Amino acid sequence: MMRIDAVKTKNLPFMLYADTHGRIYEHPHLRMLGLSGSVPQAIAEEDLAPMPAFSKLFYIPDAPPIGLDPDTGKTEILSEMAIDGVPHRCCAVAAFLEPGWVRGHLPAADYRAKAYTLPSWAYGAVGFREDGYWVSGFQIEYNPKWDPRNYDDRKLVSAIRRFRKRNPEGPLVRHLVRCATENHCFAAKNLFLGRWEAPLPVSRRCNAACLGCLSLQPVASFEASHERISFTPSREEIVRLAVGHLTHAPEPIVSFGQGCEGEPLTECRLISQSIREIRRETGRGTINLNTNGSRPDRVRDIAAAGLDSIRISMNSARPEVYHAYYRPRGYAFNDVVEAIALSRDLGLYTMINYLVFPGITDQEPEIEALKQLIDRTGVNFLHLKNLCIDPALYLERIPGPRGPGMGMSRMAEILRDEFPNLEVGYFNQAVRRD
Ligand code: SF4
């Protein structure tokens, strides 16, 4: 058992545990801990916050929680607990935070006995105090356009009905109706609600094999949280949906590269031709590309077609950590860096979709590498996105030390201090103000 010092343990939230049916309880004595990588930590008061209302709670079967005994300062694995006098095996509890929030710690749990891989969510540390759930995390950006409180599904069904009356039905519309109603994709809902950012998924293939890919997982692994698109939409349908949205929606963005598809750069020609046609019909709104940035040559072609902004994803600014997660096929980390620099040179509003993981991302060498990347490329915006993956899987596969980091909020502070012109947030930005 470890001994934890340095914080007023008595004020810490109580540890949570669940029984094997997922019923959640707070422990009467043990306090909440969080993991920075694989290192248990007591969470400083300034890193704690009441859990945002639209967060989700998970329980993790076969992974008992680790708590802190406030009297001894020692950590304790809670494998079993008597509930109403009956012994129950205990499971750890995790929170998936509301959009716009960055988690500070992973759930403190003993993952050794867990013989399965968790689906791709961003599991965060959560405890209980003062009649409420408390999490380790902070809000990096608030944007009403992505606030779950502004997504009322009672309005969605009639909006879809009206949309279908106005627009010919094609496979892409049918796909996006499912995305909006079954996968609850906010971007897909926006298409039918006629506002803000809407999706244009086009690619079935990908040239990477991310450990936590949301849309395609090897059979033996866990179930992907999104179903990958199974067809290539026609240019006609893409252009029709995009022009309709860009000309009528308030603050419109249309984005290629969604969670339900592969890598859009594999459909470079289709995207370039579509953008040219869209821009022949309207100059309004923002055309954005979410991509893994693997092919700078194709980024150049799509930019020449009329793209406005680009968001390039990476889990690390260190090649060895990037390769271990993305498992690229036919490209390498340096190609991605080149694509970011080129995007700036071509005048695109350039964003990095930085997939963050407490204990790995906030390590000194990672922050130094990131600072060099920002310096070298002049990127405009850095998304701090919680990496959605089974924590045990990521820690097993990523090279180098497994924490602790200096703290996610501390990392964000350093970046904001050292790069005052860099925007640090969570959501895509509309770059064409109409
Ligand atoms: S780049 Fe995207 S589509 Fe490709 S493997 Fe990674 S997450 Fe999946």
Please state the domain extents for the chain.
9-139, 144-425
Q: Give the model's pLDDT for residue 222.
A: 78
Q: Can you point out the beta strands (E) in 32-131?
A: 34-36, 39-41, 48-50, 56-60, 66-69, 74-77, 80-83, 86-89, 92-96, 101-103, 106-107, 126-129
CA of 263 to the centre of ligand 1 (A): 6
Look at ligand 1, atom 3, and give the residue with the nearest C-alpha: 262
DSSP state of 250: S
CB atoms within 10 A of CB 345: 13
Rounded CA gap, 47 and 410, in Å? 10
Closest by Cα among 335, 102, 292, 283 to 203: 292
Q: Give the model's pLDDT for residue 9.
A: 76
Q: Which of 8-17, 31-40, 254-263 has the lowest mean pLDDT?
A: 8-17
Q: How confident is the model at residue 234 (pLDDT cuts 50, 70, 90)?
A: very high
How many CA atoms, within 13 angstroms, populate the side-chain half-sphere of residue 223?
Answer: 3
The stretches of 69-123 forming alpha helices (DSSP H) are none
CA of 179 to the centre of ligand 1 (A): 18
Is 262 near ligand 1, meaning CB less than 6 Å away?
Answer: yes
Atom of ligand 1 at shortest distance to CA of 261? 3
Q: Give the model's pLDDT for residue 5.
A: 58
Is 263 near ligand 1, meaning CB less than 6 Å away?
Answer: yes
Q: Which helix (H) or strand (E) covers residue 297, if one does?
A: helix 296-305
The pLDDT of 329-356, averaged and rounded, is 98
Instruction: Kindly tell me if the per-residue pLDDT of 221 is higher than 80.
Output: no
The pLDDT of 59-81, averaged and rounded, is 96
Q: Give the model's pLDDT for residue 278.
A: 98
Pocket perturbation via mutation, ligand 1, pick of 202, 203, 207, 210 by most ligand atoms within 8 A of CB = 210
Identity at 321, one-letter amino acid code: V
CA of 392 to the centre of ligand 1 (A): 20
Q: Which of 69-78, 216-225, 236-245, 375-384 has the lowest mean pLDDT?
A: 216-225
Tell me which range, 5-19, 210-224, 263-277, is most confidently predicted by mean pLDDT: 263-277
Is 292 near ligand 1, meaning CB less than 6 Å away?
Answer: yes
Q: Can you point out the beta strands (E) in 14-65?
A: 14-18, 24-31, 34-36, 39-41, 48-50, 56-60
Task: Record the tokens describing residue 428, joined without a space.
Answer: 């895509």
Rounded CA gap, 312 and 355, in Å? 11
Q: Give the model's pLDDT for residue 4.
A: 67
Q: What are φ and ψ of residue 256, in 5° steps?
A: -80, 145
Instruction: Kindly tell me if the per-residue pLDDT of 432 is higher than 80.
Output: no
Is 208 near ligand 1, meaning CB less than 6 Å away?
Answer: yes
Query: Regarding predicted confidence, which is higher, 10 or 110?
Result: 110
Instruction: Kindly tell me if the per-residue pLDDT of 247 is higher than 80.
Output: yes
Closest by Cα among 161, 194, 197, 165 to 177: 161
Atom of ligand 1 at shortest distance to CA of 326? 6
Instruction: Kindly tell me if the per-residue pLDDT of 219 is higher than 80.
Output: no
CA of 357 to the centre of ligand 1 (A): 17
How many CA atoms, within 13 angstroms, populate the side-chain half-sphere of residue 387?
Answer: 30
CA of 7 to the centre of ligand 1 (A): 40
CA of 327 to the centre of ligand 1 (A): 10
Indicate the SS3 state at residue 206: coil
Is 209 near ligand 1, meaning CB less than 6 Å away?
Answer: yes
The pLDDT of 125-136, averaged and rounded, is 96
Give pLDDT tens digits for 13-24.
999 999 999 999
Is 57 near ligand 1, meaning CB less than 6 Å away?
Answer: no
CA of 63 to the centre of ligand 1 (A): 28
C-alpha Rg value of the chain to the nearest Å: 22
Q: How confident is the model at residue 2 (pLDDT cuts 50, 70, 90)?
A: low
CA of 405 to the centre of ligand 1 (A): 26
Atom of ligand 1 at shortest distance to CA of 212? 7
CA of 300 to the centre of ligand 1 (A): 21
Instruction: Kindly tell me if the per-residue pLDDT of 401 is higher than 60.
Output: yes
Atom of ligand 1 at shortest distance to CA of 206? 4
Q: How confident is the model at residue 131 (pLDDT cuts 50, 70, 90)?
A: confident
Look at ligand 1, atom 6, and give the residue with the nearest C-alpha: 210
Assigned superfamily of 144-425: Aldolase class I (3.20.20.70)
Rounded CA gap, 188 and 30, in Å? 43
Is 210 near ligand 1, meaning CB less than 6 Å away?
Answer: yes
CA of 313 to the centre of ligand 1 (A): 9
CA of 114 to the centre of ligand 1 (A): 25
Instruction: Kindly tell me if the per-residue pLDDT of 100 is higher than 70.
Output: yes
**Partners of residue 9 on adjacent β-strands:** none
Per the document, the length of the chain is 434
Q: Give the model's pLDDT for residue 318.
A: 98
Is 206 near ligand 1, meaning CB less than 6 Å away?
Answer: yes
Is 215 near ligand 1, meaning CB less than 6 Å away?
Answer: yes
DSSP state of 354: E
DSSP state of 222: P
What mean pLDDT, rounded, does the chain reach? 95
The pLDDT of 29-37, averaged and rounded, is 97
Look at ligand 1, atom 8, and give the residue with the nearest C-alpha: 213
Instruction: Kindly tell me if the per-residue pLDDT of 206 is higher than 80.
Output: yes
Q: Give the model's pLDDT for residue 168.
A: 85
CA of 252 to the centre of ligand 1 (A): 25
Rounded CA gap, 409 and 413, in Å? 6
Instruction: Kindly tell me if the per-residue pLDDT of 369 is higher than 70.
Output: yes
Is 213 near ligand 1, meaning CB less than 6 Å away?
Answer: yes
